[in-house]
Amino acid sequence: MLGSSPVLANVIDFSSGALSEVGEVLLRRVSDLVLLFGDKAAAEVLAEGDNPVVYQVFLPPEREPGRPEALLYATTVIYPGKVGDEYFMTKGHFHVEGECPEVYLGTAGRGMLLLMDRHGRAEAVPMQAGTVVYVPPETAHRTVNVGDAPFVFFAVWPEKAGHDYQSIAAHGFSHRILEEHGRPVMVSNPDWRQP
Closest CB 93 distance from Fe ion, rounded Å = 6
Closest CB 55 distance from Fe ion, rounded Å = 14
Binding piece for Fe ion, criterion CB under 5 A, among 23-31, 57-65, 71-79, 102-110:
102-110
Residues 38, 88: Cα–Cα separation, whole Å? 11
By beta-carbon proximity to Fe ion, the closer residue of 102 and 159 is 102
Residues 73, 78: Cα–Cα separation, whole Å? 16
Closest CB 139 distance from Fe ion, rounded Å = 9
Closest CB 62 distance from Fe ion, rounded Å = 16
Which amino acid, one-letter code, is at 57? Answer: V
Q: Is 94 in contact with 129 (CB distance < 8 Å)?
A: no
Closest CB 23 distance from Fe ion, rounded Å = 18
Closest CB 148 distance from Fe ion, rounded Å = 26
Phi, psi at residue 44, to the nearest 5°? -65, -40
By beta-carbon proximity to Fe ion, the closer residue of 86 and 102 is 102
Binding piece for Fe ion, criterion CB under 5 A, among 84-92, 96-104, 170-178, 184-192:
96-104
By beta-carbon proximity to Fe ion, the closer residue of 93 and 176 is 93
By beta-carbon proximity to Fe ion, the closer residue of 44 and 138 is 138
Residue 188: half-sphere exposure toward Cβ, Cα within 13 Å: 6
Phi, psi at residue 80, to the nearest 5°? -75, 140
Ordered strands of the 139-145 beta sheet? 122-127, 111-117, 139-145
Q: Tell me how many degrees the CA angle 63-68-71 measures, rounded to the nearest 5.
A: 50
The yes or no reply on residue 102 touching Fe ion (CB under 5 A) is: yes
Binding piece for Fe ion, criterion CB under 5 A, among 79-87, 98-106, 109-117, 178-186:
98-106
DSSP output for 92-129 = -BB-SSTT--EEEEEEES-EEEEEEETT--EEEEEE-T
Residues 6, 151: Cα–Cα separation, whole Å? 30
The yes or no reply on residue 159 touching Fe ion (CB under 5 A) is: no
Residue nearest to Fe ion (CB): 102
**Rule CB under 5 A: which residues touch Fe ion?**
102
